[in-house]
Structure 1
Amino acid sequence: MTPVEPPGVVAEIAGLATHVVVDGSGPPVVLMAALGSNWFDLDALAARLADSFTVIRYDRPGYGLSASLPRDRWPTLSGEIDRLEAVLDHLGVTEPVVLAAHSMSSLYAEGFALTRPGRTRAVLMIDGTFSLIGVRAVPTARRVANCHRAADVVARLDIPRRLGPAAHASVLPRPPEGYDESQRHWIRHVFTRVDMARATLVENAAYPAIDEDLRALRAERGRPSMPVTVLAALGDGGGWRSAWRSRHRRYAAALGASYEEISPAGHLLVLSRPALVADAIRRLVRRADDGWVRAAGAPDPMR
């Protein structure tokens, strides 16, 4: 069988072997994957943007083809902000970027926008994570240690090799055009390794501390200074739909952001509705451009 070459490169970034994929040309857009997601989960969205933008993706520690963090370390808000900046530095990207962050990665995107405003052009929160109250109770080190013990058991039982690809197929929706052979290869490769399960468990365990750090950052720095859109994925109907809309409207209000929604759509809309997410990114870029023109003293085209 002919070896399948991985897309992109694996480079030493912020002290860790990091998988980075770049497609297209034009203004830079960084697609940030959700908890438990990898670069190929963003392929369909990237393909719909690469004709107009330089689309940047990277796997966080333990995901995709990136190395895992040591057992005594876990994701932190400052660490992931630094990692994103290091990826941009490695690529030589100096102009401000659009961040399109799905689910939990919205915390990292907001943190980057607050601490690196000069490097951030606009932010799209794609069904982002927004906690209404603090959630940390158990110390992070203990939570992470328990996750490593659970991952060790998963590895001993050989669960990733036996069930990993089937779990991906049963949990994640397929993109509209399906997967090609190269994508199927990398799904099998990633989901048959325990690193993926371990990274998901550990990042989830670190979430309360990341959320707490972001709350402190919000209190210190306020709202992002650039255009932000909160994009909610709404189901077909029922009480959950209303609650999810209300939650994301509150999220938008807290960020001083515009609010948009896609319906019907599940949480993994980057896979199931990539064309509509790409349209939301383009609308946000136009809004950011309009703001730049007005700031430069030109007439407001909306008047």
Structure 2
Amino acid sequence: MYVFAACAFILAAVMGSAWVTGQFTTPLVDRIDGYVSELAARDQPWTRLFRVSDALAGLACALGVAAVPRVPREWPGWLALAVCGLLTFAGGLFPLDCAALSDPLCGRADTSFAHRAHLLVGVLATAAVLAGMAVLSARWRSRVSWLLTLLTLAATLLTGAGLAAGHGVGLAHRAQLAFVAVWLVYAAMRLLVADGVEDEPAPMRVATGREGGVGGAKGVPSDPTVGYGGPHVVEQGSGPAVLITAASGAAWFHWDVVAQALAAHHRVVRFDRPGLGLSPRSPGRPTLYAEVARLAALAPDHPEQVTVVAHGTACWHAEAFARLHPLCLAKLVLVAPCCPVSRPSRPVARSVGRWLPALGGTWGATALARVAGPAAHRLLTGLPDPSGVYRMGKVTAAVAGEWLARRDMAADLRRLRLEKPFPPVPVIVIGTGEWGGCGERLARDLGGTLVRVPGARRVLHHHPDAVVEAVAVR
């Protein structure tokens, strides 16, 4: 992602410097007293070329910001740079009617909305790029970045002075754009250097209150939105061990009511899979065997056994855990299990899945999650998000990654069913009231008991007592 963002910024610098060749292709635009944007005016011969160049430069800049890996406290600078890119793109869509300074006749007649919009977005884009350069220079503590920022600011002031004096605007404006282009290349070089620095595991701390759920938490990264590290784990209560694994895209706090009820007589362990909840990202894509290994690592040591409670697609992980680690399991409670799909996974899904963990750590994913994450979570679950985890880009990427990995996990589970027998342990399947559904077939195949609950897809919200009773029954 560092390389991709750096290439985007270099492309923005190159496309934004197309005015260099315009000095020779459009001689009617005054090089000393004319705006660079006059090259793209509607009455100029190469207007479409320079309008496309401006639009592509703006898009490349915004795309570069979206691909930059997230670094805490740098967001105001990158946001300002993204706004500059979008305004530059808008400037390409709304060109000047004519060469505003080079043509004495320009402006005598009424100007169009596009002409006035171009002048406005030009001023706003200049303010945005200066703000972005200043904020990032302060965060980077780079003398080179500060030098380019101050030179850009000086060229901007000279542009304003030249506009007031009626002479020299073109020279100052061209210097300003040149300094911005050089700064973009410098930012790209910084990203390429940062790409050679390996990510260190995120430091851990103990969380309290709602951040860690009822009973506190262990293994919470200081900032779970960046870097990699161990999973976020919540433990509470004492007694026989109960290990809870949430449905695809879910977090630990979805089980607060169930965990609080079970904690009276059990030691309840909840966790967030990589990228979900407060767990940091994982460099790899989700797999069935990785989730089985995670369950085995969180299960108590032999000879103590654990009751595993799983929801949705996590039922596949729980069944695989039972087949691979039969001596560790005391009971299996499967809530609204999903039927394994039979269609094979597509290579493009695997390729996208490998990129998603990196994409989850970018500013683009963060912006998408801030806009759509909380609303989508409430729409799908009907529950609030007290810790704001669905505002994190890593969570959005992790949800997409688990969805893309479904077919491969299902294929692994089907192979495992042929190779490993299911152990003789109690199994309770909580399914919907429908006959012949996935829950009924799974209960029959595993030799378990089927408990029908209306609306089992939201059993944690409407019928948490059904899960508590399933764990407590002997």
Which residue of structure 2 aligns with residue 136 of structure 1? 344
**Does structure 1 residue 168 correspond to structure 2 residue 377?**
yes
**Does structure 1 residue 210 correspond to structure 2 residue 423?**
no
Paired residues for 1:94-109 under 5 Å: 94-109=303-318
Q: Where do 4+ consecutive residues of structure 1 move more than 4 Å?
A: 2-5, 145-154
Which residue of structure 2 aligns with residue 42 of structure 1? 255
Q: Offset at 1:22?
A: 0.7
TM-score, normalising length: structure 2? 0.50
Q: Offset at 1:114?
A: 0.5
The question of whether the paired residues in 2 share the 8 Å contact of 1:110 and 1:224 is answered with no
- In structure 2, what residue type is equivalent to 1:67? P
- 2:463 is aligned, of 263, 270, 273, to 273
Change (3 A) 1:94 1:201: farther
CA distance in 2, matches of 1:272, 1:5: 23
Which residue of structure 1 aligns with residue 181 of structure 2? none
Change (3 A) 1:51 1:149: closer
Report SS of the residue matched to 1:18: coil
Paired residues for 1:47-58 under 5 Å: 47-58=260-271
Which residue of structure 2 aligns with residue 26 of structure 1? 239
Which residue of structure 1 aligns with residue 367 of structure 2? 158
CA distance in 2, matches of 1:99, 1:157: 33
**Does structure 1 residue 227 correspond to structure 2 residue 426?**
yes
CA distance in 2, matches of 1:217, 1:78: 10
TM-score, normalising length: structure 1? 0.76
Which residue of structure 1 aligns with residue 332 of structure 2? 123
The question of whether the paired residues in 1 share the 8 Å contact of 2:353 and 2:401 is answered with yes
Higher helix share: 2
CA distance in 2, matches of 1:16, 1:150: 17
**Does structure 1 residue 82 correspond to structure 2 residue 82?**
no
- In structure 2, what residue type is equivalent to 1:123? L
Q: Offset at 1:154?
A: 8.8
Q: Offset at 1:119?
A: 0.5
Higher strand share: 1
Q: Which runs of 5+ in 1 are unaligned?
A: 235-240, 287-303
Alpha-carbon RMSD across the aligned residues, in angstroms, is 2.7
Report SS of the residue matched to 1:67: coil
CA distance in 2, matches of 1:21, 1:196: 18
CA distance in 2, matches of 1:170, 1:228: 31
The question of whether the paired residues in 2 share the 8 Å contact of 1:48 and 1:274 is answered with no
Q: Offset at 1:94?
A: 5.0
Change (3 A) 1:107 1:43: same
- In structure 2, what residue type is equivalent to 1:111? A
Report SS of the residue matched to 1:47: helix
Report SS of the residue matched to 2:425: coil
Change (3 A) 1:152 1:18: closer
Report SS of the residue matched to 1:123: strand
How far does the alpha carbon of each residue in 1:237-280 deviate from its partner, in whole angstroms, 9 at most, with x for none? xxxx44xx5332112112222211112x2412122211122112
Which residue of structure 2 aligns with residue 294 of structure 1? none
Identity %: 29
Change (3 A) 1:152 1:86: closer
- In structure 1, what residue type is equivalent to 2:405? A
Q: Which runs of 5+ in 2 are unaligned?
A: 1-207, 222-227
Report SS of the residue matched to 2:437: helix
The question of whether the paired residues in 2 share the 8 Å contact of 1:42 and 1:271 is answered with no
- In structure 2, what residue type is equivalent to 1:81? V
Change (3 A) 1:24 1:225: same
How far does the alpha carbon of each residue in 1:93-140 deviate from its partner, in whole angstroms, 9 at most, with x for none? 751100110001101100110111110001011011222x52224035
Change (3 A) 1:266 1:119: closer
- In structure 2, what residue type is equivalent to 1:268? R
Stretch moving more, 119-128 or 217-226: 217-226
The question of whether the paired residues in 2 share the 8 Å contact of 1:231 and 1:259 is answered with yes
CA distance in 2, matches of 1:74, 1:85: 19
CA distance in 1, matches of 2:363, 2:462: 29
Which residue of structure 1 aligns with residue 392 of structure 2? 193
- In structure 2, what residue type is equivalent to 1:98? T
- 2:279 is aligned, of 47, 62, 66, to 66
- In structure 2, what residue type is equivalent to 1:205? L
The question of whether the paired residues in 1 share the 8 Å contact of 2:432 and 2:439 is answered with no
State the number of aligned residues.
Answer: 257
- In structure 1, what residue type is equivalent to 2:399? T
Report SS of the residue matched to 2:418: helix
Change (3 A) 1:256 1:192: same
Q: Offset at 1:87?
A: 2.0
CA distance in 1, matches of 2:280, 2:460: 24
CA distance in 2, matches of 1:156, 1:25: 39
